[in-house]
Structure 1
């Protein structure tokens, strides 16, 4: 979480500030999160002043390859970090992101966070993708849903793979092949938006489902993925498999879990609510040599 630079992002909207970060500070994004300071799976959160005065803060998320639209697990991390710093009391607060304002609830333990994500949807169902170059798959194709949960996802259930940590190499190879096939076959989200996440879903022994998520930058998510869980909830809702108010628990490839429910807003959209926890593990000053 980048703090102390809240005034550096310029723009009349958070979407404009996201573009400003990409155009003016992109060169810093990868060095902040990558080795030797971190690793390629870390998501950064560049804090800024909010545009909307009803919000306590604004944030633009980024990773090792650029800026993001939204990030669920990073939202949980931001709120838990602000609580640890003493700047945010338990209760309900409003956080402004490039995709809209989200309501977050900090629980009394200072580590557990619930938040309502942006409106999520299943855009297309049962989309077949030919994947001839993946020897890991039972067939030379997969069928999945295209869904939005703050980022665009292609969600696959019929992969036939074991979602276990000792199988990460095979899971990475498979999801990379699927991602390449999506690009080659011109399969996109709404309005041609890039599907930059691939989510494999399977059974779990301690939750309702377990996932493996390939993220932009070609690293895999260690969390159950907040936007990915939101996308899954939207798919379950569209299929009539999860009713509003019912709880869906999703386990990550590392064993952590998110709880999710949803409501239907006045426009008929699915509004997921996720609950997870985070702990602060370091407070550091990053040094960069100007060359």
Structure 2
């Protein structure tokens, strides 16, 4: 399948392939995009946000009109997530992507990278063996990542996401919440995540308490706005707390620790999967605490009961290299159109 050009004409229809990775949706937009100025993924990301823009306050224009149309009802929903497939920075990657959600754009997305790896192999964008593995290299706003697609009998059985280096950026940051003061840790893994044990807020990571968990995550994220630990040293567009991970310990496995989490991001959106980039941030924290020595694996469970496994691979000058493995399944192929007389052209959110 040919990759989309960034010089297509005005949008007449949008074609997508949808996946879910451990329960979290990912809508891959591979045809029908308007022009996206820029020579690299980072430049296209900056142009999507506009001068002085923030990921949750993107530039209004044809590209963001497509995002809104696909993420909002009646074509999407408030939990939708996706990515625009764009050309790579150079021949070292197979393609690039701009990640988006209901409130704007994001700099990293592990579950989306896994879905994109499965899509690239299943669509023939990247050749893969019937049995074995194929590497799909993807340029994202935070750097170059890799999805290793594992195959058995011509079927994709799992995808391993290797992230940009992850690092701890702040410890024991005191935040005052409606449930009382709490100390949180910050780690960068393509985006900045705050981690806090749910029990410190009197909560459990359980679907019965999801409303309270989301409210706490939103409150913590807002309180951390502008915190020095969330500032990227080289790129302001990578700064800011993207998500809040509320977690709890589960019984230790024979291979290493186990935890359950819910990651709250954007304006109250929550990850149905264990969160790919968030798992990478958790690995950095656990490794620094001595709870995840080399060769051990984190079993990371989502609030929906799905599982990623993660491990540290090696050290790097600017952090720790991590790998997270999960499954991604195709859920649909879509041809979205917009009737010129439609009185809800960009849809709505409840």
Give the aligned partner of residue 202 of structure 1. 248
Deviation at 1:255, TM superposition (A): 0.6
Distance 2:326 2:86 in 1: 23
- TM-score of the two chains, using structure 1 as the length reference: 0.90
Q: What are the superposed Cα offsets for residues 126-159 of structure 1, whole Å, 9 maximum, x if unpaired?
A: 111111xx2xx3xx11111011111111100133
State the SS of the aligned residue for 2:250.
coil
Distance 1:234 1:42 in 2: 27
After TM superposition, the structure 1 stretch with the greater mean CA deviation from structure 2, 98-107 or 203-212, is 203-212
State the SS of the aligned residue for 2:269.
coil
8 Å CA contact 2:41, 2:86 repeated in 1: no
Note the 1:137-156 alignment, pairs <5 A. Answer: 137=179, 140-156=180-196
Higher RCO (CA < 8 A, seq sep 6+): 2
Q: 2:160 aligns with which of 114, 128, 139?
A: 114
Deviation at 1:221, TM superposition (A): 0.6
CA spacing shift, 1:82–1:186, aligned 2, 3 Å: closer
Tell me, yes or no, if structure 1 residue 128 matches structure 2 residue 185.
no
After TM superposition, the structure 1 stretch with the greater mean CA deviation from structure 2, 112-121 or 95-104, is 95-104
Distance 2:280 2:90 in 1: 24
8 Å CA contact 1:153, 1:228 repeated in 2: yes
Note the 1:1-291 alignment, pairs <5 A. Answer: 1-5=28-32, 8-22=35-49, 23=59, 24=61, 25-88=63-126, 89=128, 90-108=133-151, 109-131=155-177, 134=178, 137=179, 140-157=180-197, 158-183=200-225, 186=227, 189-191=230-232, 193-204=239-250, 208-267=258-317, 269-290=319-340
8 Å CA contact 1:69, 1:98 repeated in 2: yes
Distance 1:57 1:33 in 2: 22
CA RMSD between the two structures = 2.1
> Higher strand proportion, which one?
2
State the SS of the aligned residue for 1:217.
coil
In the alignment, structure 2 segments of 5+ residues that lack a partner are 1-27, 50-58, 342-350
CA spacing shift, 1:21–1:159, aligned 2, 3 Å: same
Q: What are the superposed Cα offsets for residues 243-282 of structure 1, whole Å, 9 maximum, x if unpaired?
A: 2332111100101111111123442620110101110011
After TM superposition, the structure 1 stretch with the greater mean CA deviation from structure 2, 54-63 or 80-89, is 80-89
Distance 2:248 2:297 in 1: 17
After TM superposition, the structure 1 stretch with the greater mean CA deviation from structure 2, 265-274 or 146-155, is 265-274
State the SS of the aligned residue for 1:284.
strand
Distance 2:135 2:120 in 1: 13
Deviation at 1:113, TM superposition (A): 0.6
Q: What are the superposed Cα offsets for residues 216-264 of structure 1, whole Å, 9 maximum, x if unpaired?
A: 1311110000111111111111222212332111100101111111123
Deviation at 1:107, TM superposition (A): 0.5
After TM superposition, the structure 1 stretch with the greater mean CA deviation from structure 2, 30-39 or 261-270, is 261-270
CA spacing shift, 1:91–1:7, aligned 2, 3 Å: farther
Q: What are the superposed Cα offsets for residues 37-79 of structure 1, whole Å, 9 maximum, x if unpaired?
A: 1212221110011121021111111111111101000111112
After TM superposition, the structure 1 stretch with the greater mean CA deviation from structure 2, 203-212 or 38-47, is 203-212
CA spacing shift, 1:114–1:13, aligned 2, 3 Å: same
- Number of residues of Structure 1 aligned to a counterpart in Structure 2: 284
Deviation at 1:186, TM superposition (A): 4.9
Distance 2:34 2:265 in 1: 29
- TM-score of the two chains, using structure 2 as the length reference: 0.76
